[in-house]
Structure 1
Amino acid sequence: MGGPVFRPRDLASRMAARRRSSSGPDGYLRETFTLPRQEARARARDFFARFPKAGYMSAVESWRELPDGAIEFTMRRLRSAD
């Protein structure tokens, strides 16, 4: 059983890198932001205004509240509406 040993922080680092990548194999573009709560809401609203859900399948893919109260969230959308 001499395989590699993975620590939880290794998994967390891989997941964070995947979230930061601009385009995944599924065809979605992703942007990750870390902002104070009110600015995060405004940024999400702006994102949906620029890339409507109906045309780009836009969504908040994930979000979490950080210990300092800031919100880290990832928005995703299709590359184009064609």
Structure 2
Amino acid sequence: MRYQKPEDVARQIAERRFQRSTWNDGMKRDSFLLPRTEARAKAKEYLARYPKAAYMSEVENWRELPGDMIEFTMRRLPSAD
């Protein structure tokens, strides 16, 4: 069994994430960086504009940043474009 250095494992994980994020899966993605209250309002607005039943809309990923900031990506089918 071959053991890898931690930096090699981290690089492999980052490469896999990049490959997944660049797949052409036909989905439209919009990313935002907003204060928590504005992020919540933006996500609600997005889901109201593109309902899950028609566009398969969802919050694809999100993370908290310092200063009560939220970075998130919304995903939907592009049929409304």
Common fold, TM-score beyond 0.5?
Answer: yes
Mapping 1:60-79, distance limit 5 Å: 60-79=59-78
Deviations 1:11-60 (A, max 9, x none): 38x74xx4xx7xx5000000000000000000000001110000000000
Answer 1 or 2: which has greater helix percent.
2
Give 1:68 deviation, angstroms. Answer: 1.8
- CA distance in 1 between counterparts of 2:37 and 2:47 reads 16
RMSD between aligned residues: 2.4
Aligned length: 70
For structure 2, which runs of at least 5 residues remain unmatched after alignment?
1-6
Mapping 1:1-82, distance limit 5 Å: 8=10, 11=14, 15=18, 18=21, 24-80=23-79
Give 1:7 deviation, angstroms. Answer: 8.8
Which ranges of 4 or more aligned residues in structure 1 deviate by more than 2 Å?
A: 5-9
How high is the TM-score relative to the length of structure 1? Answer: 0.71
